A and B are shown apart, each in its own frame.
Chain A
């Protein structure tokens, strides 16, 4: 009796189990490949070349590159504000109001994402120089904004679509004005979607070097542009690696904080995260 009831022992390495192990191994191999360039930069930035000790490189980041980091934060912050001002009302109108040619309009607003950075850069450089006569920081901010606002738009549109109209109707029935409804009902409920948009725009704009290379005012060098220029002129210096590592760590920190607070589901529709 006991012999019949004991389950047949499974072989230690069945083909099923092998497949499972292989698939996990594959995922981790790919993930290591993704992180490898970052790890290489990290180990290089801690290395000692030219006498400076590892952490000395990071002291340089906040010393001589402090200006560049400051500009990066400033430009990114201003860009995010402009993106918000452009995307919030547009996403609301696209979802709630009858707009003729809605699909076409949405596609036209998404198009900046697909224009190669070098082309955006060149076209803005030429128009700033010959038509708009802009040569201040705002030229760069506007260039960043036009390249990144579609990234913010998509999560907001998705969040708006997931929000039933009845909340707004109820609020209006109860006597709230339009503005009160937007501020008290709509904004809080689409908050996570907006934050997802903010995060995407932040990591793209904060690390953007290509458009910046074309349109930056002479006296202004953001941190990614500094990395680019140093790599071209100064070769593979540990301090440059330290700056690149700092930029990536700040971005990664933003992603981790976001994931912990809101989770990942708000990136639905962006095809990016």
Chain B
């Protein structure tokens, strides 16, 4: 009886995940082994490894660009995010205001990318700054730095919150003790603060990386042809525009595998403990 009740309570969420996530994912894994459109042909699907061969032969640069963008965005977030989280947790009293303003990037990468393209447009507000560095607008508007910057703005709050949660669990007296014992600020940081927050830093970085893997709007709106090769965009072009279901499913599976590996380690470091 108790078991039945538990099952009934869990059923809606489990069914939702099973029918609309796990079954479709299994479906595209299957689909990724079929040739182009053969799934639709009356003779039944033709199975082969052709799509994965294409991945290795033709689409490795796409995978490389995807990982490169995500890794760069993660690095920018990490370098800018750690001091931000530290100051936020240790020094700032108006934390709610900061949090409220920090939700703006969360509204979506689309708006961030859209707004950025206005800023970088010739005649836009960033013109003086760009010219001061001796650059032209076109150097920035459709370029790798613009894409990385937009991606890192979008994911910054996740990084800050992950590090901030870890930091708020570290007792400030430990830092004071280190200072009393004669440690310089960077020694305190390197020997005391960083080791104690490592879990949060790693989990946050991996989470940001995993989210950035699927970037779509930023490369499309701000990238050059090189950045537009990113896997999520290619998947859309091949699958929805050209109807090559086999090939685009394969890219989906590749993206999925990368995201899952990253997420697995991220969850091992942070969550999971929530329901225990």
Contact = CB atoms under 8 A, between A and B. Distances in A.
Given A90-B14, A247-B107, A142 B20 contact: yes
Contact of A120 (B21, B100, B153, B156): B21
B177 interface: no
Given A107-B272, A116-B232, A154-B274, A44 B106 contact: no
Interface centre among B165, B213, B216, B266 (most CB of A within 10 A): B216
B64 interface: no
A40 B236 CA distance: 28
A217 B214 CA distance: 23
Overall SS of chain A's interface: helix
B147 to A, nearest CB: 14
A209 B204 CA distance: 24
Contacts of A35: 101, 104
5 A-B pairs closest in CB distance: A116-B214, A37-B115, A93-B9, A123-B24, A90-B13
What is the size category of the interface that chain B forms with chain A?
35 or more
Given A41-B111, A145-B16, A31 B255 contact: no
Contact of A241 (B8, B20, B118, B204): B118
A125 interface: yes
A38 B235 contact: no
A114 interface: yes
A4 interface: no
Contact of A20 (B91, B210, B271, B276): B91
Interface string A149-175: 100011001100100000000000000
Nearest to B185: A19
Overall SS of chain B's interface: helix
B162 interface: yes
A248 B109 CA distance: 12
B10 interface: yes
A43 B27 CA distance: 46
Contact of B88 (A27, A93, A110, A207): A27
Given A119-B255, A236-B121, A271 B96 contact: no
B118 A271 contact: no
Interface of B: 2, 5-6, 8-10, 12-14, 16-17, 20-21, 23-25, 27-28, 31, 39, 80, 83-84, 87-88, 91-92, 95-96, 98-108, 110-119, 121, 124-125, 150, 153, 156-158, 161-162, 165, 204, 207, 210-211, 213-214, 216-217, 220-221, 232-233, 235-236, 239-240, 245, 248-249, 252, 255-256, 259-260, 262-263, 266-267, 270-276
A227 B114 contact: yes
Given A82-B16, A116-B256, A126-B27, 18 more contacts: A30-B84, A35-B101, A37-B118, A40-B116, A103-B276, A110-B267, A118-B232, A122-B248, A123-B28, A124-B24, A126-B24, A146-B20, A149-B17, A214-B240, A231-B114, A236-B114, A259-B96, A270-B161
A206 B44 CA distance: 40
Interface residues of A, number: 97
A66 interface: no
Contact of B235 (A115, A122, A153, A272): A122
A114 B110 CA distance: 18
B9 A106 contact: no
A271 B262 CA distance: 17
A122 B252 contact: yes
Interface stretch (A55-63, A67-75, A94-102): A94-102
Given A131-B27, A273-B103, A115 B118 contact: no
